[in-house]
Amino acid sequence: MGNVQIQLCGLIFDLLLIFFVLRHESVGLYSEKIFKQCVIVYTSCIVLDILSCVAIMNDERIPGFLVILSCKAYLVSLALSAFYGFLYTYNDVKRLRENFSFQVGTLGAALIGILFICVLPINYLYDGKDILYSYGYSAIMTYIVTMVYIVSTVAITFFYGKQMNPHRRNAVRAWMIIESVMAVIQFIFPELLLVGFGSALGMYILYSELENPEVYIDRAIGCFSEETFKKYITQEYELRKPFSVIFICNEKEWKVGDETEKRILVEMSEFLNSFGYSKLFKIANNDFALVYDKNEKEMNEIESAVNLDVIRQRFEVSWPELSRTKFLYMPDGHVTSSTEEFLLGYLRNRDLFEQGEDMRLIDEESVNQIREFNSMVVEIGKALEEDRIQVYYQPIFSLETEKFVSAEALARMVEKNGKLIMPMRFIPVAEETGLIEQIGERVFEKACECIKQNNLKSKGIDYVEINLSVTQCENPLLATKFQEIISNHSVSPAEINLEITESSTLKSRNVLLKNMNDLMRYGCNFSLDDFGTGESNLNYIVDMPVKLVKFDRNMVQEYFKNEKAKVVMSSAVKMIKRLGLKIVAEGVETEEQVKEIKDLEIDYIQGYYYSKPLSEKDFIRFINDHNMVS
């Protein structure tokens, strides 16, 4: 019969899908599991349809109750197929997937529908040739249940479409359209048994668009891909399953040819895939992640489960073309609480390897540091948005005039409750995230406001020193921005002195020099900050057009304690003075230290002996009290 032949074609489709699905390694994603269940249910539906047809055609030789049973079994499988299509779709929406009441309600509705299908009467018709079908209230109820779930499935793709994988959303719509068309045709022409074949076509669409195991694989090297890794880790958190991870961190840029790189990656993949009880993923930067579905305690029972020594030795010996590979080990994946935090933990720890270190542990302590870092990033963003970045000023004393002639502008961040957050807490975070540029620009603008509003020149303050971060120095628009701010506040450029610090991380010295020259032509001056820290040296003084050198607090303090430091600093002073530059000594704290600095012929002193950094209001009061300007 033609109808049975159509169903057989659908059955062949499904059997081929089962073959292709089973021949590949499964990553274990929930959508993967549901798809496999869908294929089984839909295949069973076609098989039961064929069996019911055979039973109807042989009703004279088969007991009547068995014919009725086979027809109802087919109808129940048809309703189940529609329900599984709905289940597959709503599980792509986290809000619905985690809603227990919703899940119970949809399952309850399906069971009630199936119960009605089972108890309502059914009839069947066979003319002995081509016309063969079942009908009656049971069949009508099957259509109702099926169409309710088809409509509900499509509705989810519209109401929650933005929360779904767009490929899944479109594939499900195409699948449901095919099923709806086939169901309508079969309802109008019951002798045309097309629903099973339509379901098989729908399964094929899902397989080709989404559930082909090949989409989870990095085809170049044969392990699971980075996108699959993110999905898998997300599922581990949602299901609260224990897991642990070894990250194999290779160089970001390989100095080998493309063919050699591919060969090495394939060799690494084959080696790492040989470890049992784990799944291997290739992730960013040519890194690998070896994931175990157990935490450290459970893995102690598994032979060579996390044999880091074996892996490290193999990498040291087998791939000499690369620099030393580094390893991150997370014994318990649930020290982080989400995929985002997990990935941040990997990336942050990857960047924190110290010289000579090849293995780091991602434990609760390191994760707490990451949380604090992330929290500070958020706090800095809010502080910038809510104007909670303040400027404090530390007065600088001239030994020649014996007056306070300048001040250093220092960034401070204020919590909502008014409590100060000290620089050592937020400045390193701001520098690492690039937020330091916004903070620096805010400090510069507020310093200009202070100069203008308080007429600092009339109070004896010739200029204000403002620090430049490495990020600011690398910005080609720095000079233009600062000139605009100076102009907007009607401040004399000579009242601005910008501090730069030599840094090994500075990527473009040419950009810095251009910014410096542009601002110096405009009328600003520059000083070299933190001389003596190991970052700043005499070559930098020669290369950069600075007029002032600031000796770092640690260097100054060593001068008072260490005879060798005295010789070094005295020689440096003489050399810098011969270059025609002025010198500031930072961190001077006692009267005895002031006397020694005077004997050294340094020009300016900045330190707690005279004043700690002050708020703008206190700074103006301090200058009014100490500078007797006529």
pLDDT, tens digit, 9 for 90 and up, residues 12-46: 666 766 676 666 667 778 777 887 888 888 788 77
Integer Cα distance of 530 and 536 in angstroms: 7
Helix (H) or strand (E) holding 530: strand 525-531
Rounded to an integer, what distance in angstroms lies between the CA atom of residue 629 and that of residue 457? 10
What are the angstrom distances between the C-alpha of 130 and each of 53, 192, 214?
11, 10, 42
pLDDT at site 304: 42
User: Model-level pTM greater than 0.95?
Assistant: no
CB contact at 8 A, 168 and 199: no
What does the CA dihedral 497, 383, 427, 519 come to, rounded to 10 degrees? -20
Q: How far apart are CA 598 and CA 594, in angstroms?
A: 6
Residue of 343, 347, 249, 241 whose CA lies nearest to 295? 241
Cβ atoms 464, 409 nearer than 8 A: yes
Identify the CA nearest to 305 among candidates 267, 279, 334: 279
Contact criterion met (CB below 8 Å) for 609 and 589:
yes
- Phi/psi at 311 (nearest 5 deg)? -65, -45
pLDDT, residue 303, reads: 44
Distance between CA 377 and CA 500 in Å, rounded? Answer: 24
Q: Please state, in angstroms and as integers, the Cα–Cα distance from residue 465 to each residue in 31, 451, 468, 523, 584, following that order.
A: 60, 11, 10, 14, 12
Q: How far apart are the first and last CA of the chain?
A: 115
Nearest-angstrom CA–CA distance, 523 and 446: 19
Q: Is residue 226 within 8 Å of residue 219, measured between CB atoms?
A: no
* Helices (runs of H) and strands (runs of E) counted in the chain: 24, 19
- 220-247 in b/e form (b: 16+ CB < 10 A) is ebebbbeebbbbbbbbbbeeeebbbbbb
Taking the CA atoms of 145, 149, 155 and 160 in sequence, report the sign of the dihedral they define: positive
Q: Which of 399, 459, 397 is nearest to 606 (CA)?
A: 397
Closest CA to 331 of 371, 310, 362: 362
**Calpha distance 75→44 (Å, rounded):** 11
pLDDT tens digits for range 408-458: 999 999 998 889 998 899 999 998 888 999 999 999 999 999 999 999 999
Rounded distance between C-alpha atoms, residue 234 and residue 239, angstroms: 9
Per-residue pLDDT at 142? 86
- The DSSP call for residue 387 is T
Rg (CA), the chain: 37
Beta pairing class for 288-292 and 278-282: antiparallel
Q: What is the pLDDT of residue 519?
A: 93
Residue 533 and residue 553 in contact, taking contact as beta carbons nearer than 8 Å: no
Tokens describing residue 541: 């003084």
- Is the separation of the CB atoms in 629 and 424 below 8 Å? no
| 98 exposure class (CB count in 10 Å sphere: 0-12, 13-18, 19+) | exposed
Q: For residue 483, give every residue at least 6 positions away whose Cβ sits within 8 Å of its Cβ, in sequence order, or none.
A: 493, 518, 519, 522
> Which regions of the chain are under pLDDT 50?
1-2, 301-305, 630
Q: What value, to the nearest 5°, has the Cα angle with vertex 504 and ends 502 and 506?
A: 75
Say how many C-beta atoms besides its own lie within 10 A of residue 341's C-beta. Answer: 16
Helix residue ranges, H only, 386-456: 423-433, 436-454
Q: What is the pLDDT of residue 488?
A: 93
Residues 6+ apart with CB under 8 A from 156: 86, 89, 90, 93, 96, 164
C-alpha of 395 from chain center = 43
Alpha-carbon span 396 to 604, nearest angstrom: 7
